[in-house]
Amino acid sequence: MAHRRFGAGVMSDKSRLLQGITGIIGEQLSSVEFVQDYVQLHFDGPILTAFVWPVVRIPGALICVKDPGYKDALCARIGRNVRKVNFLEAVELLVEFEDDSIISISLRLEDSVGPEAGHFWTGGATPPSCPVTRAEAPFHPRTTGFL
């Protein structure tokens, strides 16, 4: 079980991020949990926590947090299987589903509310709370990734 941080302010290790997060390929999005100023995407064990509000891309539409129907669009991905995960360093993390929809989490520094864009937890008994606060996270404005 591993708990990884990723985002605009965390030192990059793209291969480790991809190794962990590609484990959700073939898995379904099992639930979406809205928690005050962040959201958690659950994949039957692994959890992707986003501190930057994800954008939902469906064929013909781009739905952002302030758009009507945002929560419905995000929750409509529940039960959909992940086809592909793509990590574009310093740009975005993309989770693509079999229905051609995409959940995109920005890794751009200008979109960040802190040094981390989020956490990825691979699963196990009980997820730990974020072990590193944003203030404690190493910060480098030009790299993205996770530890």
Look at residue 48 and tell me if it is in a domain. Answer: yes
Residue 7 has pLDDT above 70, yes or no: no
Look at residue 134 and tell me if it is in a domain. Answer: no
- Closest residue by Cα to residue 53 from 111, 119, 102: 111
Look at residue 141 and tell me if it is in a domain. Answer: no
Residue 33, exposed/middle/buried by CB under 10 A (0-12, 13-18, 19+)?
exposed
pLDDT value for 119 = 87
Q: What is the pLDDT of residues 90-134, one digit of tens each?
A: 899 999 999 999 999 999 989 988 888 888 888 765 544 332 222
Look at residue 66 and tell me if it is in a domain. Answer: yes
Number of Cβ within 10 Å of residue 131's Cβ equals 9
* Tokens 């999005």 found at: 29
- Contact of 104 with 93, CB cutoff 8 Å: yes
Q: What is the pLDDT of residues 15-53, one digit of tens each?
A: 666 668 888 999 999 999 999 999 999 999 999 999 999
pLDDT value for 101 = 98
Q: Tell me whether strands 31-35 and 55-58 are parallel, antiparallel or unpaired.
A: unpaired
Look at residue 84 and tell me if it is in a domain. Answer: yes
Which DSSP symbol is given to 81?
B
Look at residue 142 and tell me if it is in a domain. Answer: no
As a whole number of Å, the CA-based R_g of the chain is: 14
Look at residue 56 and tell me if it is in a domain. Answer: yes
How many domains does the chain contain in total? 1
Backbone angles phi, psi at 73, to 5 degrees: -65, -40
Look at residue 139 and tell me if it is in a domain. Answer: no
Per the structure, the complete domain to which residue 72 belongs is given by 3-121
Tokens standing for 104?
């995109």
Residue 144 has pLDDT above 50, yes or no: no
pLDDT value for 123 = 78
